[in-house]
A and B are shown apart, each in its own frame.
Chain A
Amino acid sequence: MALKGSGLGLRRGMLDDLSALTSKDVDFLEVAPENWIGVGGRYGKAFRAFTERFPFACHGLSLSIGSSDDLDIEFVKSVKQFLDTHGIETYSEHLSYCSHNGHMYDLMPIPFSLDAARYVADRVKQVQDIIHRPLILENVSTYAMLGDGMSELEFMKEVIQRSGCKMLLDVNNVYVNATNHKFNPDEYIQSLPSNSIEYLHIAGHFDEAEDLLVDTHGADVKPQVWALLKLAYECHGVLPTLLERDFNLPTVTELLSEVNLIKQYQQEASNERQLA
């Protein structure tokens, strides 16, 4: 099922709280396949009940597309099987690496360069051959920049262009990185290739310092980030958008009211596009 509208990340600890969720509340849900592959018992059963009722996206964590370690082909095949089993079309991952001589379970910044972009694009193609669909890569928050000075925007565009992959545009990560590495977030969003953007993420962050933000997914979305969402819709169309909230979880009502805000922005942007 293709995605549309507004979505919410589904976490294992929230399954009971969200059991009464309907399509009036959200249009789609998202999970990390690494948390659900091979999971049976009560969680597997509850998960199946959700995948039968809602369109889903898979947002992976362990692919480590940017790593100098070899790709885990068996893992990619397992993801493909999982997608097929649950009828999930959308598989996104992070333009990052999370392993070096072993898995480290969080995201490290790829050292940017043209050669690195080529290297990553080759791996993306390998993955796409296995999963039989475009891989969707998300711009990740970073707190350090390595590489030869190539910008994140150039790197992302290079990987997309060389591999034919799609993009998951995380507007909070754009804001965080624009602050952390001093670039213009509006220009970043405006410069992206519209046809390549598949869907969006939005989330909250933590202000470590005025010039250093941390992508915690543990707070309400900031006004400046809502503004970037609006800009993204203006530039690239009203794309499906998911709210990510992983820590300091509020009540379901509060979560859904933030999802509702997404819907409002989408409605406004649609109206404006119709008037234009």
Chain B
Amino acid sequence: MNANLRKFKQDQQGFSDHIRSAEQSEAISGIEDRRLNIYRELFFNNVEGFVSSTFPVLHELFNDEQWDQLVRDFFVTHKCETPYFLEISEEFLQYLEHSKLDFLPAFSYQLAHWEWMELFADVAETNDVSEERSEIHLSDQLTTNDCTWNVGYDFSVQKISADFVPEEPETTFLIVHRDADLSVGFIEINPLSMLLFEQLKGNETQSVETLLSSIAKQQGIELDVIMNGGLEIIRQWGQLGLLKAC
């Protein structure tokens, strides 16, 4: 790289450093501060807008000063790799997982992940479209369709708001689903149902009966109980459009 391009690179380094953080970088000589301030504000406000629109619940848990500090720390310290605007929220998640800010509650990352899941489910490109299955037979070979996503958290993230901030962890399993009309919903399920869902998800050839029997065996629960309960749950999932033939 010749001397002129080296200067070109240095100029960009200095300018971008200054936009990221005027405090932590050198002043730029020859440019009025009010002009630099336009850039500082435009850039920060743009990123803040993306973050607050994807994470409104997280936002409402903090006062203005804390939120500003959080978004600013992300803006200054996190190197964003994605050229896609809807993925800025993923970049923020990655930042949040390792953030050292001391006012962040223990559930912050998981809450943010839950909020991000809603966006993710809304825009995911999948080959499947949700279809209702009104009848389920024990001999059916079923799996979950591509518009369903199961997640587990240590906190009841779906309940968190400014009015409800959990003190204690509470293991929570949720299924996010995108319906035939392309709207996104979710259901809360118990650990056993989560296990069943995961079995179905990875299922390629087994019948409902076989799947339920192996769960009964694994978990040491009476076959009758699992058969009846399991079939009922699978029927509900069928009606919600979460399943498809293998």
A residues at B contact (CB < 8 Å): 32, 34-35, 37-45, 61-63, 67-68, 72, 75, 97, 100-106, 108-109, 111, 113, 115-116, 119, 143-144, 146-147, 180, 208-209, 212, 214
A39 touching B12 in the complex, CB below 8 Å, given contacts A45-B182, A104-B19, A105-B47: no
CB–CB B34/A97 < 8 A: no
Give the distance in Å from the alpha carbon of A100 to the alpha carbon of B78 in the complex: 12
What are 10 A-B contacts defined by CB distance under 8 Å?
A: A38-B84, A41-B123, A41-B124, A62-B83, A62-B84, A63-B83, A68-B12, A68-B13, A101-B13, A104-B20
Give the distance in Å from the alpha carbon of A68 to the alpha carbon of B183 in the complex: 42
Give the distance in Å from the alpha carbon of A44 to the alpha carbon of B2 in the complex: 45
B35 contacts across to A, CB distance below 8 A: 143-144, 180, 212
A53 to chain B, nearest CB (A): 19
CB–CB A115/B2 < 8 A: yes
CB–CB A104/B43 < 8 A: yes
CB–CB A105/B43 < 8 A: yes
Q: Within the complex, which residue of B5, B32, B85, B178 is in contact with A115, where a contact is CB–CB below 8 Å?
A: B5
The binding surface of chain B is classed by DSSP as helix
B35 to chain A, nearest CB (A): 4
Identity of the chain B residue whose Cβ is nearest the Cβ of A105 in the assembled complex? B46
CB–CB B83/A103 < 8 A: yes
Identity of the chain B residue whose Cβ is nearest the Cβ of A101 in the assembled complex? B79
CB–CB A144/B36 < 8 A: yes
Q: Does B24 contact A (CB under 8 A)?
A: no
Q: Does B137 contact A (CB under 8 A)?
A: no
A-B contact count (CB 8 A): 124
CB–CB A40/B85 < 8 A: no
Give the distance in Å from the alpha carbon of A147 to the alpha carbon of B10 in the complex: 11
B163 to chain A, nearest CB (A): 28
CB–CB B38/A208 < 8 A: yes
The number of residues on chain B lying at the interface, defined by a beta carbon within 8 Å of a beta carbon of chain A, is 45
CB–CB B12/A43 < 8 A: no
Q: Does B81 contact A (CB under 8 A)?
A: yes
B7 contacts across to A, CB distance below 8 A: 111
Identity of the chain A residue whose Cβ is nearest the Cβ of B182 in the assembled complex? A42
CB–CB B4/A113 < 8 A: yes
CB–CB A35/B86 < 8 A: yes
CB–CB A34/B4 < 8 A: no
CB–CB B12/A67 < 8 A: yes
CB–CB B39/A144 < 8 A: yes
Q: Does B126 contact A (CB under 8 A)?
A: yes
CB–CB B4/A38 < 8 A: no
CB–CB A111/B122 < 8 A: no
A101 contacts across to B, CB distance below 8 A: 13, 16, 79
CB–CB B85/A41 < 8 A: no
Identity of the chain B residue whose Cβ is nearest the Cβ of A209 in the assembled complex? B34
CB–CB B19/A41 < 8 A: no
Q: Does B82 contact A (CB under 8 A)?
A: yes
A209 contacts across to B, CB distance below 8 A: 34
B149 contacts across to A, CB distance below 8 A: none
Give the distance in Å from the alpha carbon of A67 to the alpha carbon of B16 in the complex: 11
A214 contacts across to B, CB distance below 8 A: 38, 42
CB–CB A34/B83 < 8 A: yes
Identify which of B2, B20, B182 gathers the most chain A CB atoms within 10 Å of its CB. B182
Q: Does B9 contact A (CB under 8 A)?
A: yes
Q: Does B162 contact A (CB under 8 A)?
A: no
Q: Does B11 contact A (CB under 8 A)?
A: yes
Give the distance in Å from the alpha carbon of A143 to the alpha carbon of B38 in the complex: 7
A-contact bits for B83-110, CB 8 A (1 contact / 0 none): 1111010000000000000000000000
Q: Does B80 contact A (CB under 8 A)?
A: yes
B10 to chain A, nearest CB (A): 9
A67 contacts across to B, CB distance below 8 A: 12
CB–CB B5/A37 < 8 A: no
Q: Within the complex, which residue of A37, A40, A42, A115 is in contact with B183, where a contact is CB–CB below 8 Å?
A: A42
Q: Does B225 contact A (CB under 8 A)?
A: no
CB–CB A39/B5 < 8 A: no
Q: Does B164 contact A (CB under 8 A)?
A: no
Give the distance in Å from the alpha carbon of A41 to the alpha carbon of B180 in the complex: 10
Give the distance in Å from the alpha carbon of A34 to the alpha carbon of B50 in the complex: 14
